[in-house]
Amino acid sequence: MTDETRQRPLNVLFLCTHNSARSVMAECIMNRVGAGRFKAYSAGSTPSGVLDPQAVSLLQHLNYKTDDLRSKAWDEFAILNNPDAPDLDFVFTVCDNAAGEACPIWPGQPMTAHWGIPDPSLATGTEAEIALAFAEAYRQLNSRITLFCALPMASLDRLSLQRRLDDIGKSKAPDESAA
């Protein structure tokens, strides 16, 4: 990270195919947990154009502001499509489909990692079982983002930081029932 980068919040983009649930939850979590040190965005490779109502309901229940959230294409953040796109410091894919796609060229030469989370919008069963799938996705994202925000960014070289980002993507959220 350059000195110039440290003077502004670090920009983080969360990617998912439809940008309707996981990436949107990650954007909200990062903007809260990052406490001004990070500015989060989310986008999708083929955005649905609508937010998943279950994800929005969960975020509202947890007192997140959801009025400005929208499902958007990752092209808004690509250098070739938007010269005013923010310089990105980090890009994280949160679904396996987006991780396997060819991504655009991002401004700022960001570090990337895959933090795959099962898609809660594919959950079936009772209303309670579906709500549990969304809560679990939220819990995993919150755990990873909290770990990320605790990293000593200024003291890690790029290779060490990349290793930490990859390790966070493999981490499991602590099981609250074990406490």
DSSP 8-state code for residue 8: S
- pLDDT, one tens digit per residue, over 39-63 is 999 999 999 999 999 999 999 999 9
What single-letter amino acid sits at 32?
R
Q: Where are the domains of the chain?
A: 3-166
- pLDDT, one tens digit per residue, over 127-139 is 999 999 999 999 9
Q: Tell me the pairing of strands 38-44 and 90-93.
A: unpaired
Q: For residues 111 and 162, what is the distance between their CA atoms, to the nearest angstrom?
A: 7
For residue 102, name the pLDDT band (cuts at 50, 70, 90): low
Of residues 99 and 96, more confidently modeled: 96
- pLDDT, one tens digit per residue, over 81-94 is 778 889 999 999 99
Q: For residues 109 and 122, what is the distance between their CA atoms, to the nearest angstrom?
A: 33
SS3 label, residue 91: strand
User: Quick one: tokens of 147?
Assistant: 């770990």
21 close to 52: Cβ distance less than 8 angstroms: yes
Average pLDDT of the chain, as a whole number? 89
DSSP 42-102: EEESS--SS--HHHHHHHHHTT---TT----BGGGG-TTT-TTPPPPSEEEE-SHHHHTSP
Mean pLDDT of 52-81: 93
pLDDT at 28: 98
Global pTM reads 0.90
| 3-166 placed in CATH 3.40.50.2300 | yes
Mean pLDDT of 6-17: 90
User: Quick one: tokens of 32?
Assistant: 């809260």
